[in-house]
Chains A and B, each alone.
Chain A
Amino acid sequence: MSVVTLRVNGQEVAVPAGASLLEAARAAGVELPTLCHLEGLTPVGACRLCLVASETGGRLLPACATEAAEGMAIRTDTEELQRYRRMTVELFFAEGNHVCAFCVANGDCELQDVAVAVGMDHSRFPYRYPHRHVDASHPLFALDHHRCILCTRCVRVCDEIEGAHVWDVAQRGSECTIIAGLDEPWGAVEACTSCGKCVDVCPTGALFRKEDTTAEKHPHAERPEQLRRAREQQQWRNQ
């Protein structure tokens, strides 16, 4: 296995060829905030929280979706990056309707955790209070578009792990939204196997079990990686 060496915040680190800058940062003991990234799913670089700067300048790079190259030198915590990260999280809050007080995910929410991590104590941007809706047509689960940050974890886990491809992204800009099937009520999409993986990986309270009330959602973001590893290694056959 070939290896590439690079510098993260001045520290030299070696990672397998093909590894991402996020993996390189983690190998160097540096934790970067992420929301769209999830082990076991294809990276898309949607949330822009893991942006890092190359010491040689140029545009900022999404660490999850950038392959580490021999001789690279990156910084992960410049003042500019910290400012951008906080601004990104503030924009998430301003863009949707995130009311932690009665949210199913309160206390176990990655958006909440990231807000704390980047030091967001308030949003400097005016809230948009968009008019969105809740799709509760599925017998077991519901999608609250108010709380969706368009990370597309649900789209990817349904496509790549479950193989059902119930979810997709429609529209553009501020109208951009997650849709079920051909923009149908979730409960009407026959492809859905009701496996619940999309609920498990959702980083906020957007996807939840219908019986869950305030602060009762406990996601399982580790499942895609567990399932992928189990399939690749055929773990169930070794027992």
Chain B
Amino acid sequence: MTRTVLIDPVTRIEGHAKITLHLDEGGHLVDARFHVVEYRGFEKFCEGRPFTEMAGITARICGICPVSHLLAAAKTGDKLLAVTIPPAAARLRRLLNLAQLTQSHALSFFHLSSPDFLLGWESDPAKRNVFGLMAADPDLARAGIRLRQFGQQVLELLGGRKIHSAWAVPGGVRTPLSAEAKAWILDRLPEARATVRLALDLYKRLLDGPLQREQRVFGDFPSLFLGLVGEGGRWEHIDGTIRLRASDGTIVADGLSEDDYHAFLGEAVEPWSYLKFPYYRPLGYPEGMYRVGPLARLNVCDSIGTPWADAELADLRSRSGRVATSSFAYHHARLVEIVACLEAIEELVNDPELMTGRVRSRAALNRNEAVGVSEAPRGTLFHHYVVDDDGLIQKVNLIIATGQNNLAMNRTVAQIAREFITEPVGADATIPEPLLNRVEAGIRCFDPCLSCSTHAAGQMPLRLELRAADGTLLAERCRG
């Protein structure tokens, strides 16, 4: 009789999901799947609303990365108005996104993932979290929390609040940066830089030591990588064009516009998940699997453009190859991107254009359809709106970063399960907890945001169910 082992919910991620491990008659693992079990319905209930509300509505999709939706919605709004936003507004939006990337990456690394590396895969699950990290290494935990606070504070200085600000609007932004805010950012930058240097040194020691197996088996497979690149192929997070690079380093497509996303991206649906499965259309489904996010951005770009970040990029590439194919390298990529963000923030706040002139272009509706794109912490985010002549939404399509990693997350889960669950699983479903944690950690590499990708949350108790092929519950265990 074939059976299914269920990990439900997956913990220390943003959102609600479960993992099923499929066993054959002998208890051997045959497959693993990552299911997203939330349904949100944003694309539907936005219909009929004025497009000017979309930034405010879609920002509410997520409490971790509302800025990404805010920016994508504002950029889509710019196109509906058919305006060019003022230079200062373009820089202020960049600053907002850099702060967002910093705070979200700090959250992923310090709060969610580092307990696995620093406290150990086998450590007590009840303490394998940020509170356990505080007890074991209070200085590191404090520095990590303050790094996230730095990013969050910049968001508040710009948008008036840390979460769910509606500061970016069609046509630009609402308010300029104050001189006091600029001074605060410059004052706190050295501490933020020191924290990320500490984290990088620590993480590289772990890569050279106890994490070697994880680098090899946590989702290491060839795939395409998709992300924005700027002029000269530089690392980009809000403007620029879309590039796809294959694992062998070949640039598969370059200079693509988000306006044409439908021509190169398809969205498949599977009956066992609410999360869609986007794929690169020319290669078909599922061969067109691609990855987005920090690792993809570093893989697709030629350089970052600031000295320390470029040095760290070179180090990452010397360890993982020109195109890093292991999903475990997402953690390293996140730290490199924090470096890139901090350097870019410093450049921007010293840019005289940031503090000058108007920050909002005003116009009435001039187009009926537009696509906006931004690089969210977890990857490329597309907003596509169709509006009537009065500016009311007729159709919305949101392609979320986590969705684009869906195929790769499933592949990662299966690869880890095959590596670590080598013995037949008995009828009592006694899979050791550290092995289950590694399967979950495969998902954490991607820092998935399921609230976003299904258009709720928090740390939930983990439930493990063993089910027969006909769905009969054979055994059940809970933790949390």
Contact = CB atoms under 8 A, between A and B. Distances in A.
A218 to B, nearest CB: 13
A210 interface: yes
A134 B48 contact: yes
Most buried by B among A101, A134, A213, A215: A213
Contacts of A104: 53
Nearest to A135: B390
Contact of A101 (B48, B164, B362): B164
B55 A137 contact: no
B354 interface: no
Nearest to B390: A136
Given A102-B57, A210-B364, A134 B166 contact: no
B interface, over-half SS:
loop
A141 to B, nearest CB: 11
Interface string A126-142: 00000001101101001
Most buried by B among A134, A187, A211, A216: A211
Given A133-B48, A211-B362, A102 B53 contact: yes
B392 A134 contact: yes
A213 B170 contact: yes
Contacts of B166: 102, 213-216
B391 interface: yes
A139 B59 CA distance: 27
A211 B83 CA distance: 14
B169 interface: yes
A212 interface: yes
A94 to B, nearest CB: 19
A136 B391 contact: yes
Bin chain B's interface residue count. 20 to 34
B438 interface: no
Contact of B50 (A136, A215, A216): A136
Contacts of B48: 133-134
A16 to B, nearest CB: 45
A213 B364 contact: no
Contact of B56 (A187, A210, A213): A213
B428 to A, nearest CB: 46
Contacts of B52: 210-213
B175 to A, nearest CB: 11
A139 B164 CA distance: 29
A136 B55 contact: no
Most buried by A among B49, B164, B166, B391: B166
B50 A102 contact: no
B378 interface: no
B41 to A, nearest CB: 13
A180 B75 CA distance: 33
Contact of B55 (A134, A139, A142, A214): A214
B56 A214 contact: yes
A180 to B, nearest CB: 14
Contacts of A139: 364
A171 B476 CA distance: 57
Interface string B142-184: 0000000000000000000000101001100010000000000
A100 B172 CA distance: 23
Contacts of A211: 52, 362, 364
A136 B169 CA distance: 19
A78 to B, nearest CB: 39
B61 to A, nearest CB: 11
A214 B364 contact: no
B16 interface: no
Nearest to B52: A213
Contacts of B50: 134, 136, 142, 144, 210
A144 B60 CA distance: 20
A126 to B, nearest CB: 19
Contacts of B364: 139, 210-211
A51 to B, nearest CB: 35
Interface in A184-239: 187, 210-216
B55 A101 contact: no
A102 B390 contact: no
A134 B362 contact: no
Interface string B357-380: 000001010000000000000000
B171 to A, nearest CB: 8
B92 to A, nearest CB: 16
Contacts of A210: 50, 52, 364, 391
A214 B169 CA distance: 9
B393 to A, nearest CB: 10
Most buried by B among A144, A211, A212, A214: A214
Nearest to B81: A211
B49 A134 contact: yes
A213 B55 contact: yes
Nearest to B58: A102
A213 B53 contact: yes
Given A102-B166, A139-B364, A214 B53 contact: yes
B56 A101 contact: yes
A47 B52 CA distance: 30
A137 B50 CA distance: 11
A144 B52 CA distance: 13
A136 B392 contact: yes
Interface string A101-125: 1101000000000000000000000
Nearest to A185: B390
A50 to B, nearest CB: 32
A102 B170 contact: no
Interface string B53-81: 10111011000000000000000000000
A13 B169 CA distance: 51
Given A101-B164, A210-B52, A212-B52, 15 more contacts: A101-B60, A104-B53, A134-B48, A136-B50, A136-B390, A136-B391, A142-B50, A142-B390, A210-B50, A211-B52, A213-B53, A213-B169, A215-B56, A216-B166, A216-B174
Closest 3 CB pairs of A and B: A214-B56, A102-B56, A214-B166
24 contacts: A101-B56, A101-B57, A102-B57, A134-B49, A134-B50, A134-B392, A136-B50, A136-B390, A136-B392, A139-B364, A142-B50, A210-B50, A210-B52, A210-B391, A211-B362, A211-B364, A213-B52, A213-B53, A213-B55, A213-B169, A213-B170, A215-B166, A216-B166, A216-B174
